């Protein structure tokens, strides 16, 4: 049986827009009906950090600015030349019912398969190695993607009544592959493993309006980013 997904390539976007679009896609997941794979980049160096983290601690461990609080958990993630993506899943899709550890591993096995098709050998971390508290890429968690023993892919999740949101980053960008090649490999891997058929996402006007509101009222505001 084929599994229908939607595909959105946003290109390089503003930090607040990136976080707003991901949250809006999660809110609109029941209306969109199908999971959405989104690729995006950053118009300026920035750093995102987990929803529950304290910004006073984040400010001491990175000089990157602006800082933006994600909807998802996890730690500090620097953004500049990294390959960033999100996956949103509606409650009606089987992936939504997975435990957090299962959806995390599935996401990273998908990435591992994509890299394998590009002749880039990776492995999933069997356990954890923490080096610097709060920084996602300073150590690694179980099922993170490793290349030559170093973490290159991590993710964070948020599950609400409207859907599941996974936000992830590939960094540093592995030599021997381009962003375009990796994105194509991701769609091909999903087609090969789960019979996924992708269709371009045409953003509903209401979703576009919601993104603008989230940019202006939330992700660009100190009241949100400095709330803890």
Catalytic residue among 13, 127, 128, 136: 136
Give me the residue label for tokens 């999903």: 190
Helices (H), the chain: 15-27, 29-32, 55-61, 100-117, 179-194, 205-214, 222-225
Distance, in Å, from the CA atom of 119 to the CA atom of 75, rounded to the nearest integer, reads 29
Q: Measured between alpha carbons, how far is residue 227 from residues 2, 21, 77, 146 in Å?
A: 43, 20, 18, 33
What's the half-sphere exposure (Cβ side, CA atoms, 13 Å) at 147?
19
Rounded to 5°, angle at Cα 95 from 89 and 97: 105
Give me the residue label for tokens 């999933």: 124
127 is catalytic: no
- Closest by alpha carbon to 28, among 213, 216, 172? 213
Q: What is the DSSP letter of 76?
A: B
Residues with catalytic function: 136
């Amino acid at each position: 049986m084929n599994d229908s997904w939607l595909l959105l390539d946003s290109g390089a976007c503003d930090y607040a827009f990136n976080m707003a679009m991901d949250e809006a896609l999660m809110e609109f997941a029941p209306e969109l009906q199908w999971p959405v794979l989104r690729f995006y980049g950053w118009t300026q160096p920035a750093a995102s950090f987990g929803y529950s983290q304290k910004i006073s601690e984040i400010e001491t461990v990175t000089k990157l600015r602006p800082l933006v609080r994600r909807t998802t958990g996890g730690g500090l993630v620097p953004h500049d030349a990294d390959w960033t993506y999100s996956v949103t899943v509606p409650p009606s899709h089987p992936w939504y019912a997975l435990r957090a550890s299962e959806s995390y591993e599935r996401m990273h096995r998908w990435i591992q398969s994509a890299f394998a098709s590009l002749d880039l050998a990776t492995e999933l971390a069997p356990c954890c190695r923490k080096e610097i508290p709060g920084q996602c890429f300073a150590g690694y968690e179980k099922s993170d993607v490793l290349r030559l023993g170093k973490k290159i892919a991590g993710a964070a999740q948020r599950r609400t009544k409207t859907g599941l949101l996974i936000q992830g980053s590939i960094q540093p960008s592995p030599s021997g592959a381009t962003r375009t090649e990796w994105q194509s490999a991701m769609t091909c891997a999903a087609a090969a493993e789960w019979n996924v058929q992708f269709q371009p996402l045409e953003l509903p006007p209401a979703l576009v309006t919601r993104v603008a509101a989230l940019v202006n009222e939330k992700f660009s505001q100190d009241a949100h980013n400095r709330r803890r």
